[in-house]
Chains A and B, each alone.
Chain A
Amino acid sequence: MIQLLKNYEASVGMYDEFIQDRNSGIHHYQNFVNRLSEMTVQDFMALNENAKLSFLNQGVTYALYDKKESVEQIFPFDLFPRIINPTDWDKIEKGVIQRNIALNHFIHDVYNEGKILKDKIVPEHLVKTSKHYCKSMEGFSPKKNIYCHISGTDIIRHSDGDFYILEDNLRSPSGVSYVLTNRVAMRRVFPHSFKDMIVEPVENYTDKLVQAFWNISEKPMGEIFCVLLTPGVFNSAYFEHTYLAQNMGIELAEGRDLYVSNDKVYLKTIDGDIQVDVVYRRIDDAFLDPEVFRPDSFLGVKGLMRAYLKGNVTIINAPGTGISDDKAICAYVPDMIKYYLGEDPILNNVPTYICEREKDLQYVLENTEKLVVKPVDMSGGYGVCICDQMSKSELDELREKVKADPRNFIAQPKMLLSTLTTYIEEEENLQPRHIDLRTFTILGGKEPFVLKGGLTRTALKKGNLIVNSSQGGGSKDTWVIKK
């Protein structure tokens, strides 16, 4: 096994988590590496194959869409875990709670009094022109004023060693099922490693989520009826939908299983119809209710918004939360934190140039090749342009696109995501690869909860800075060391 790590070295200027851990004398990774040294390369490769087979048999897959059909794939899983020390985790946890509370205030404010807009902290135009702005939510406050019950916050560690927020996912953040299944896989494969250090558990996530649902719906425990609304088997995150429904003990429903009558939502069952209190939707706003959003949607439930606005059902997350996923608005989160909480942000944003601002646009156009340009409303790594890897003609084309529709773009300096030891099958050894972290925060329970771990995504191609599964990335189990 030592052979696998023999030539391991980080690229110049990169922050490699494993090497930094070793050099700083913390040695959190050492116990794990010691365990690996007890096995041969062939043993490790066999474990890797077994882990893959286990995921395949369990159906832990996601769908990739090509032009003809959706292709089911295993989300590549790397056996080398990411380990986060208690000090770093403390900062991350406090930072994402602070951020998501501020974002929740912001969404409530935007759809009600609009103080932050009137005070010109966040430009009103930017908010109202967001693709995800939901007019139906104006003047409405959901139960307990919670909009973003579940948030996925993407965090990177830059070469300066500090953590930065890359983006927020407040519509229906995905990936948590992989956190849970990755942990199961690691326990099966390396049971003894969990004896070497105390790792925070992740299994409590679904309990916390159900508790938050109960708390929000203001009904006694066990007296609410929840469903997870899925677009169906062809959705890329369908495995996650079934996994969560099963582990939360709630029904997995498609739009055709639900209907609205007298502004109440019902589920069609063989025993008759059951009134639904909470809809944990995993479909976008646009498809949620053909009466209000896209009339051609077959995935949603006609009349759902009527029932929602009458207070007869809770939708998780609330419609319209996507305004915060808009990358141009995301740039204002530090200002929101100061505005609503009177605090300095614990976690910094990646510096962002908002192309709609004239000065920023000029900078972006003049320095395009040094930047990473992103569309404001796309996720999954789609549309991201890492400009120093583009040809002159591609850059010219990009500049034209940005000039034509500056509202649709932001730009950021190229952040050098930290790297971590990752098994590369083709090379049969361990090499540094870029990683990020998606944390999962739940609001609406007795107190805010952050899943102690999260999804570490890893690029599998050398030098690749985009870690998303849709772009060929994989994932790692994330171990937060108990204090």
Chain B
Amino acid sequence: MLTRVAESLYWIGRNIERCEHCSRYLKVQYFSTLDAPMSQNKDFTLRSILFMSGSDFDINTSVNEGEVWQKVIFDYNNPNSIANIAQKARENAKSIRNNLSTESWEAINKFHLFMKGLDGSKFNSSKVFQFSEKIILHLSLINSTFANTLLHTNAWSFINLGIYIERNLQILRILKSKISDITILTNGGINIPLMHYQWITLLKSLEAFDVYMNINQRQLSTAEIYKLIISNELFPRSVIYSGQKIKRHLTNISARPLGFDIILANLEKSIDECIAFQNFDDEEKVINFINQNYENISRSHLEIQKLYF
């Protein structure tokens, strides 16, 4: 496989995963502002959406919904808008499409055409739900064609490396950002209903709400939430699950250039630390753990880039 092709596959995975996180976060956060107790903090939530999507915004001026939709969804000048990420994924796929199956290429192309066909000027809050649902459908189709129409060899593994590195980083970012939001909004945890509401929003942002409620008999506990999101090996949107997937796909790649063993060792160390982590009651230690993991995964990204591309 060409080095250029490997890099493009990796970025297709990252961009597709980023789009999914972005649109899910946008939907969950936006709808969370419609009811009390968050309806009083709409501005705050809209900023949170901008922050999570990686879009620039001025902290001192108020934001309105229309601006947020434009920036986060449609703005081709914003490198992190959903339309732009979809376009990047498509450009990457186009440049290597002979390495993809026809089905996965068409799924990516259709997603890009869907985004291109939307009229940003006519978009409003009544369309957020429908839009997010369609995005999820497109992205599910893309992921399904990756899983079902590609040989599970190098190409598939580079895509998945991208997917799980992005997922890991996004989970850690969401977690960190929510901890900060909750501290600010609940006045250090005094406003319990608002705190619970925020934790539920976090779980929904990771599509973890049902899973959490099933495991914990509908009892909300910060420590249990951390435990699920950080170290439940069976939950696909946990830090450890993504870490193990990264390791699996890295070892599935046939090429083992010099330096491969070091990346693998670092990754294994990071996974071991995740398994060993038990201080879910201690928020400071959780935050340190999140920061450390974020650093580790970012380093893995750089090492993969250096090694293969």
A interface residue numbers (CB < 8 A to B): 56-59, 232-233, 238, 242-243, 245-246, 251-254, 256-257, 267-272
Contact = CB atoms under 8 A, between A and B. Distances in A.
Given A270-B1, A271-B255, A58 B98 contact: no
B3 A238 contact: no
User: What size tier do the contact residues of chain B reach?
Assistant: 20 to 34
B2 A59 contact: no
B97 A246 contact: yes
Contacts of A257: 2-4
B97 A242 contact: yes
A188 to B, nearest CB: 14
A56 B4 contact: no
Contacts of B6: 270
A252 B98 contact: yes
Contacts of B253: 270
B91 A57 contact: no
A34 B40 CA distance: 68
Nearest to A72: B94
B94 A233 contact: yes
Contacts of B77: none
A270 B113 CA distance: 32
A238 B4 CA distance: 17
A252 B3 CA distance: 12
A127 to B, nearest CB: 37
B257 A270 contact: yes
Interface stretch (B27-35, B52-60, B104-112, B288-296): B104-112
Contacts of B232: none
Contacts of B99: 252
B95 interface: yes
Contacts of B98: 242-243, 245-246, 251-252
Contacts of B1: 269-271
B229 to A, nearest CB: 33
A183 to B, nearest CB: 15
**Chain A CB within 10 A, most for which of B2, B6, B94, B113:** B2
A59 B95 contact: no
Nearest to B158: A270
B154 A270 contact: yes
A257 B1 CA distance: 11
Nearest to B113: A56
Contact of B106 (A57, A256, A269): A57
B2 A57 contact: no
Contacts of A59: 94, 97, 105-106, 109
A269 B97 contact: no
Contacts of B102: 58, 246
A58 B101 CA distance: 11
Given A270-B255, A270-B308, A271-B1, A252 B96 contact: yes
Contact of A57 (B4, B109, B255): B109
Interface in B234-267: 253-255, 257
Nearest to B110: A57
B97 to A, nearest CB: 5
Nearest to A246: B98
A221 B137 CA distance: 44
A298 to B, nearest CB: 14
Contact of B113 (A57, A243, A256, A272): A57
A232 B92 CA distance: 11
Contacts of A254: 4
Contacts of A272: 255
